[in-house]
Structure 1
Amino acid sequence: MLRDSIKAAQISAMKAGDKPRLAAVRLILAKLKDRDIELRTVDKKPEDDDLVIEVLQKMVKQRRESIQLFEDGGRPERAADERAELVVIEEFLPAQMSEDETKAAIESIKAETGAAGMKDMGKVMAELKARHGNQLDMGKASGWVKAALS
């Protein structure tokens, strides 16, 4: 399970004295704990690995936005800190699909569902997320689906 590998990474970072990595791993564990607390009152909880991946993907998106803002604001040292955290977070995510693989999956789904135009975008996106949600950036995939359907 992903959560166990993150906890193991925390222990190894502590033993190695790698403070930046330890801080990033602790940040991940804190976000996971926050999400667990949010889900206490929910009847149907997602599987643990799905929950961990969802939290990690959200953190990656936040880091990328922060890096861009820090660079635009002339704060390269802060952008470098965010990049270091991003590298640690991405270690725990499953391998992402390449652009070509994603476009092939979109074409496959498009053929299966009979999607012909933009009115079918929601159907294609839902199926894409159901099949490959953990392996791709849905923001980028949305643009590729639009292009495939137009």
Structure 2
Amino acid sequence: MENNIKAKEFLSKTKANDRIVEVKTGIATNVNEKSFSLGIDVNGIEQVTPIFEDFSGTQTNIVAKSSYFTVKAGVHTHSPGGAAPPSATDIYSFMKANDTNSEFTLYYTISYDGNDYVYSIIDQINSKVLLLLIPKMNILIINMEVGYMEML
């Protein structure tokens, strides 16, 4: 429950909200994914990265660490022509970002179909174990109806 509150808090802050407005602008027709990361600096002040845009049609960058602030979360969009909900690649990328920075515990997907999703890591140990068990080359299937992942 605490991470759900944290997730809502982060997105409601001014800088994050401004970035969300920017990445959502034209999302229904823009085929490029966009992303940014957010967190807090040493004074506890909210900070965000610039928006990154992917022009290859695959996936945009996730900034997991910054020398200017502690990155706590990442946000990215899903554009038309791809999957609306989070993909297995999204989850794997999120877990890798968390492996790089254990404070990176929230990852948002803003979809072109109007739905928004957030993933949260609440158990660092199990997240790291799962990351070791899922080599990047395996195919993950995410069953959104029942909420579990399976490997093929």
Relative to the length of structure 1, the TM-score reads 0.24
Greater CA radius of gyration, 1 or 2? 1
Q: Which has the higher contact order (CA 8 A, sep 6+)?
A: 1
Relative to the length of structure 2, the TM-score reads 0.23
